[in-house]
Amino acid sequence: MPGNSFGQLFRITTFGESHGGGVGVVIDGCPPGLVLSEADIQTELDRRKPGQSKITTPRKEEDVITIYSGVFEGKTTGTPIMMMARNTDMRPEDYQVLKDVYRPSHADFTYEAKYGLRNWAGSGRASARETLARVAAGAVAMKYLREKLGIEILSYVEQVGDIKAEVDIDTVTLAAIESNIVRCPDKEVAKRMIALIEEVRSEKDSLGGVIRGIIRNVPAGLGEPVFDKLSADLGKAMLSINAVKGFEFGSGFGGVGMRGSEHNDQFYTNEKGNVCTRTNNSGGTQGGISNGMPIHFRVAIKPVATIGRKQSTVNKVHETIELEAAGRHDPCVLPRAVPIVDAMSALVIMDHYLRHKAQNS
């Protein structure tokens, strides 16, 4: 079946294109009784929207969300929630020159290979604008998890290019993350990141980097062996985000340099009588099931594919041409990708919580 849906019991289906009428989502499986308003969702969309700072795309979209179903008298009804934000600053004419060209590292060639045609106006479904729908759905899941279970979901920019921040993942706060436009909680490192992004933008180029994700207060027992491990579903969720090229869970690749005696997370009972581990190299799971410790992971994001520099490519008749792309694009997507990582984390945890509850109630 087409891959426009995600999740099992908390299931979302996104729709819309970058330069079409709008982008939206249908959520099926949200429990009834959750107090929910458009303002709850708008807060997260404002963190993702374009034009929010000097280091993002200048496209101006307010991304105003409207809930069309599934909420009555301020509460979710348990029926499908449909919501959408209409596009207002579309410029499909900017892409007219690209209709017969395969842009380097874009989905132009592969979409045409799959469907026999493609939406050349802003990449259609391949556009990162589709992630608006994920963030809207994730805001609903995050609100439920926060209010009903006390689960906290955070992510921040850990690295841009070769500049990396050293942050204590056990104490980092949302306020620190949101204290600057690059969403790096280390203010001094953030200044260097911003300067690098501005420098690269002036050179008509782009940058990638790493986002660190953290999920706190997850109850033990979430996750489904063997193929639906919590870590595996988080990996799929993150790798489904545009421009993501790598996912590292827990100690990740760094763990290969450790011995078992160093890497093993030894159990103990804390002062509240809860089972904990002294280290967290496992990243909050064992056997793909949450163990009650904080979940942490890293997401690698490539440099933006659309750049103003001349590049060699081919057109639909396989002629070699030079392309100098125009349009409005981020020089580095990481600051706007932070709420997308948060949203996908929330969707995975919400789905697995409902699956756990259904099996064990």
* 162 φ, ψ (degrees, to nearest 5): -100, 10
Among the ranges given (14-18, 205-209, 256-260), the one the predictor scored with the smallest mean pLDDT: 14-18
* Residue 219 · residue 292 · CB < 8 Å: yes
Whether pLDDT at 90 is above 70: no
pLDDT, tens digit, 9 for 90 and up, residues 206-235: 999 999 999 999 999 999 999 999 999 999
Phi-psi region of 124 (alpha: psi -120 to 50; beta: other; left: phi over 0): left
Whether pLDDT at 259 is above 90: yes
Region 44-65: mean pLDDT is: 82
- Give the residue carrying structure tokens 């795309």: 57
Any bridge partners for residue 214, and if so which? 154, 296
Mean pLDDT estimate for the chain:
93
Range of the domain at 99: 5-360
What proportion of the chain, given as a percentage, has pLDDT over 70?
96
| Torsion on CA atoms 120, 5, 247, 313, rounded to nearest 10 | -10
Whether pLDDT at 361 is above 80: no
Geometric angle at alpha carbon 236, from 132 and 9, rounded to 5°: 75
- What pLDDT does 75 receive? 98
pLDDT, tens digit, 9 for 90 and up, residues 179-197: 999 999 999 999 999 999 9
Split into its structural domains, the chain has a count of: 1
pLDDT tier, 328 (very low <50, low <70, confident <90, very high otherwise): low
Region 316-335: mean pLDDT is: 85
* 257 φ, ψ (degrees, to nearest 5): -90, 5
More confident residue, 19 or 32: 32
Geometric angle at alpha carbon 334, from 339 and 161, rounded to 5°: 155
Whether pLDDT at 1 is above 60: no
- What pLDDT does 53 receive? 77
Whether pLDDT at 13 is above 80: yes
What proportion of the chain, given as a percentage, has pLDDT over 90?
77
- What pLDDT does 327 receive? 61
- Give the residue carrying structure tokens 């997308």: 340
Region 293-297: mean pLDDT is: 98
Task: Look up the CATH number of the domain holding residue 205.
Answer: 3.60.150.10
Q: How far apart are CA 124 and CA 130, in angstroms?
A: 9
pLDDT, tens digit, 9 for 90 and up, residues 114-159: 999 888 777 778 888 899 999 999 999 999 999 999 999 999 999 9
Instruction: State the burial class of residue 79 (Cβ atoms within 10 Å of its Cβ: 0-12, 13-18, 19+).
Output: middle
pLDDT, tens digit, 9 for 90 and up, residues 25-36: 999 999 999 999
Report how far Cα 129 is from the mean position of its chain's Cα atoms. Answer: 12
pLDDT tier, 93 (very low <50, low <70, confident <90, very high otherwise): low
Return the SS3 of 141. helix
